Amino acid sequence: MKAVNYYIIVDKIKQEPLKQNGLIMTESIETDVRYLKGKVISCGEMTQGLSEGDIIYYDKHAGHGISFDDKLYYVIKQGDVVIVE
């Protein structure tokens, strides 16, 4: 599976539950998080500053899911990436 143009294929990284003062916060509290963390699986040939294996943060409303080999990946545009670790 290979991304094309300005698209990026991302494997979403599941975040650990948010803890505050030793208490695990509920899911509704975590929905306030605007950005999701993911690992870049493939970059299109027109993307810049990214490579396979990079850990990125991207807008949670960006892109769409795609199933490949019984695993769910997300396809986003380069403009939806806000941070590269």
pLDDT tens-digit map of 10-19: 999 987 766 6
Q: Is the pLDDT of residue 26 over 80?
A: no
- Which domains does the chain carry? 7-14+33-84 (2.30.33)
CA angle 46, 47, 50 (to 5 degrees): 150
Amino acid at 25: M
Retrieve residue 16's tokens.
């650990």
Alpha helices, H only, the chain: 27-30
Report the distance separating Cα 19 and Cα 17, nearest Å.
6
The string of pLDDT tens digits covering residues 29-66 is 455 678 999 999 999 999 999 999 999 999 999 999 99
